[in-house]
Amino acid sequence: MRSAEIAGRKAAPRGRALEPGCVDFTRRRQQALVHFRAAMDLDPASPRASLNVGGALISLKRYAEAVTILEAAIARGADDTNTMFKLSTTQAVAFTNLCVADRNCDAYRGERHFQRAVKLSPDFADTYFQLAAFMNDRHHDSRRAMQLFSRRVIAATTTAAFNTGISSCHLDPSAQD
Protein backbone atom coordinates (compact mmCIF):
# COMPACT_ATOMS: atom_id res chain seq x y z
CA MET A 1 0.00 0.00 0.00
CA ARG A 2 1.35 3.43 -0.88
CA SER A 3 2.07 5.92 1.87
CA ALA A 4 -0.40 8.41 0.34
CA GLU A 5 -3.17 5.81 0.72
CA ILE A 6 -2.17 5.14 4.33
CA ALA A 7 -2.06 8.86 5.14
CA GLY A 8 -5.56 9.31 3.67
CA ARG A 9 -7.13 6.69 5.95
CA LYS A 10 -8.79 7.80 9.14
CA ALA A 11 -8.25 5.90 12.36
CA ALA A 12 -11.31 4.55 14.12
CA PRO A 13 -12.45 6.95 16.84
CA ARG A 14 -11.59 5.78 20.34
CA GLY A 15 -14.40 4.42 22.43
CA ARG A 16 -16.62 3.56 19.44
CA ALA A 17 -17.38 0.14 18.10
CA LEU A 18 -15.94 -0.78 14.76
CA GLU A 19 -18.52 -2.30 12.48
CA PRO A 20 -17.87 -6.04 12.59
CA GLY A 21 -16.46 -6.90 9.21
CA CYS A 22 -15.33 -3.35 8.39
CA VAL A 23 -11.95 -3.53 10.03
CA ASP A 24 -9.25 -4.78 7.71
CA PHE A 25 -8.87 -8.25 9.15
CA THR A 26 -9.71 -10.11 5.98
CA ARG A 27 -6.17 -11.45 5.89
CA ARG A 28 -5.37 -11.24 9.61
CA ARG A 29 -8.57 -12.14 11.37
CA GLN A 30 -6.87 -13.93 14.25
CA GLN A 31 -4.60 -10.95 14.90
CA ALA A 32 -7.60 -8.62 14.91
CA LEU A 33 -9.34 -10.88 17.42
CA VAL A 34 -6.30 -10.66 19.73
CA HIS A 35 -6.51 -6.85 19.64
CA PHE A 36 -10.28 -6.82 20.13
CA ARG A 37 -9.94 -9.15 23.12
CA ALA A 38 -7.26 -6.86 24.58
CA ALA A 39 -9.67 -3.94 24.26
CA MET A 40 -12.40 -6.00 25.91
CA ASP A 41 -10.01 -6.86 28.76
CA LEU A 42 -9.52 -3.13 29.35
CA ASP A 43 -13.27 -2.56 29.61
CA PRO A 44 -15.07 -5.89 30.12
CA ALA A 45 -18.46 -4.22 30.53
CA SER A 46 -18.26 -2.42 27.18
CA PRO A 47 -20.99 -3.71 24.85
CA ARG A 48 -19.10 -2.25 21.89
CA ALA A 49 -15.96 -4.22 22.75
CA SER A 50 -18.07 -7.39 22.99
CA LEU A 51 -19.64 -6.53 19.63
CA ASN A 52 -16.18 -6.29 18.02
CA VAL A 53 -15.01 -9.56 19.57
CA GLY A 54 -18.26 -11.29 18.57
CA GLY A 55 -17.98 -10.03 14.99
CA ALA A 56 -14.37 -11.20 14.75
CA LEU A 57 -15.31 -14.63 16.13
CA ILE A 58 -18.11 -14.92 13.55
CA SER A 59 -15.64 -14.12 10.77
CA LEU A 60 -13.44 -16.93 12.11
CA LYS A 61 -16.48 -19.28 12.16
CA ARG A 62 -16.18 -19.65 15.94
CA TYR A 63 -19.90 -19.26 16.43
CA ALA A 64 -20.29 -20.87 19.86
CA GLU A 65 -17.73 -18.47 21.35
CA ALA A 66 -19.42 -15.53 19.64
CA VAL A 67 -22.80 -16.58 21.06
CA THR A 68 -21.40 -16.70 24.60
CA ILE A 69 -19.72 -13.27 24.37
CA LEU A 70 -22.68 -11.57 22.70
CA GLU A 71 -25.34 -13.05 24.99
CA ALA A 72 -23.35 -11.87 28.03
CA ALA A 73 -23.16 -8.35 26.53
CA ILE A 74 -26.91 -8.37 25.84
CA ALA A 75 -27.59 -9.45 29.43
CA ARG A 76 -25.45 -6.53 30.70
CA GLY A 77 -27.33 -4.13 28.42
CA ALA A 78 -26.25 -0.95 26.67
CA ASP A 79 -27.05 2.73 26.97
CA ASP A 80 -28.37 3.12 23.45
CA THR A 81 -30.87 1.28 21.29
CA ASN A 82 -28.56 1.12 18.27
CA THR A 83 -25.90 -0.81 20.19
CA MET A 84 -28.52 -3.21 21.56
CA PHE A 85 -29.86 -3.67 18.03
CA LYS A 86 -26.38 -4.47 16.71
CA LEU A 87 -25.72 -6.87 19.58
CA SER A 88 -29.05 -8.62 18.96
CA THR A 89 -28.61 -8.96 15.20
CA THR A 90 -24.97 -10.02 15.49
CA GLN A 91 -25.92 -12.56 18.17
CA ALA A 92 -28.75 -13.87 16.00
CA VAL A 93 -26.43 -14.26 13.02
CA ALA A 94 -23.91 -16.13 15.19
CA PHE A 95 -26.68 -18.41 16.45
CA THR A 96 -28.08 -18.99 12.97
CA ASN A 97 -24.64 -20.03 11.72
CA LEU A 98 -24.14 -22.23 14.78
CA CYS A 99 -27.44 -23.96 14.03
CA VAL A 100 -26.48 -24.52 10.40
CA ALA A 101 -23.38 -26.35 11.64
CA ASP A 102 -25.25 -28.19 14.41
CA ARG A 103 -28.86 -29.03 13.60
CA ASN A 104 -29.43 -30.00 17.26
CA CYS A 105 -28.86 -26.48 18.58
CA ASP A 106 -31.67 -24.42 20.07
CA ALA A 107 -32.53 -22.29 17.03
CA TYR A 108 -35.31 -20.60 18.97
CA ARG A 109 -32.68 -18.68 20.96
CA GLY A 110 -31.43 -17.14 17.71
CA GLU A 111 -34.98 -16.43 16.64
CA ARG A 112 -35.63 -14.55 19.90
CA HIS A 113 -32.66 -12.29 19.18
CA PHE A 114 -34.08 -11.43 15.75
CA GLN A 115 -37.45 -10.72 17.40
CA ARG A 116 -35.72 -8.36 19.85
CA ALA A 117 -33.94 -6.69 16.93
CA VAL A 118 -37.28 -6.07 15.17
CA LYS A 119 -38.61 -4.38 18.32
CA LEU A 120 -35.45 -2.25 18.62
CA SER A 121 -35.42 -1.20 14.97
CA PRO A 122 -38.75 -1.99 13.27
CA ASP A 123 -37.72 -0.34 10.00
CA PHE A 124 -34.66 -2.53 9.46
CA ALA A 125 -35.63 -4.80 6.60
CA ASP A 126 -33.36 -7.79 6.90
CA THR A 127 -34.46 -8.79 10.38
CA TYR A 128 -37.88 -9.54 8.86
CA PHE A 129 -36.22 -11.70 6.22
CA GLN A 130 -34.39 -13.68 8.92
CA LEU A 131 -37.57 -14.13 10.93
CA ALA A 132 -39.36 -15.27 7.77
CA ALA A 133 -36.67 -17.92 7.30
CA PHE A 134 -37.20 -19.13 10.88
CA MET A 135 -40.98 -19.28 10.37
CA ASN A 136 -40.60 -21.26 7.19
CA ASP A 137 -37.65 -23.52 8.02
CA ARG A 138 -38.16 -24.17 11.73
CA HIS A 139 -41.89 -23.72 12.26
CA HIS A 140 -43.05 -24.77 8.78
CA ASP A 141 -45.40 -21.76 8.83
CA SER A 142 -45.22 -20.49 5.25
CA ARG A 143 -48.15 -18.09 5.72
CA ARG A 144 -46.39 -16.25 8.58
CA ALA A 145 -43.12 -16.41 6.63
CA MET A 146 -44.74 -14.64 3.68
CA GLN A 147 -46.20 -11.97 5.98
CA LEU A 148 -42.76 -11.30 7.43
CA PHE A 149 -41.15 -11.31 3.99
CA SER A 150 -43.75 -8.79 2.80
CA ARG A 151 -42.90 -6.63 5.81
CA ARG A 152 -39.25 -6.83 4.78
CA VAL A 153 -40.06 -5.63 1.28
CA ILE A 154 -42.10 -2.72 2.66
CA ALA A 155 -39.35 -1.76 5.13
CA ALA A 156 -36.69 -2.02 2.45
CA THR A 157 -38.72 0.09 0.04
CA THR A 158 -39.30 2.84 2.57
CA THR A 159 -35.80 2.87 4.07
CA ALA A 160 -33.67 1.49 1.24
CA ALA A 161 -32.15 -0.83 3.83
CA PHE A 162 -31.12 -3.88 1.86
CA ASN A 163 -28.08 -4.87 3.88
CA THR A 164 -26.96 -7.66 6.15
CA GLY A 165 -27.70 -6.15 9.52
CA ILE A 166 -24.14 -6.59 10.66
CA SER A 167 -22.20 -4.43 8.31
CA SER A 168 -22.23 -2.91 4.88
CA CYS A 169 -18.64 -4.10 4.47
CA HIS A 170 -17.84 -7.45 2.94
CA LEU A 171 -15.22 -9.94 4.03
CA ASP A 172 -13.29 -11.88 1.44
CA PRO A 173 -14.27 -15.48 2.23
CA SER A 174 -11.16 -16.79 0.46
CA ALA A 175 -8.82 -14.80 2.72
CA GLN A 176 -6.67 -16.85 5.07
CA ASP A 177 -5.17 -16.08 8.47
List, for residues 157-167, the tens digit of each pLDDT value: 665 444 444 44
Which tens digit of pLDDT belongs to each residue from 43-100?
999 999 999 999 999 999 999 999 999 999 999 998 899 999 999 999 888 988 888 8
Quote the CA–CA distance of 65 and 94 in Å, as a whole number: 9
Q: What is the percentage of the chain residues whose pLDDT exceeds 70?
A: 72
pLDDT at 36: 92
- Of the candidates 39, 43, 72, the one whose C-alpha atom is nearest the C-alpha of residue 56 is 39
Which tens digit of pLDDT belongs to each residue from 117-131?
889 988 888 888 888
pLDDT at 159: 54
pLDDT at 75: 94
pLDDT at 4: 40
- Alpha helices by DSSP H, listed for 105-141, are 107-120, 125-137
pTM for the model stands at: 0.69
Superfamily of domain 17-104: Tetratricopeptide repeat domain (1.25.40.10)
- Tell me how long the chain is: 177
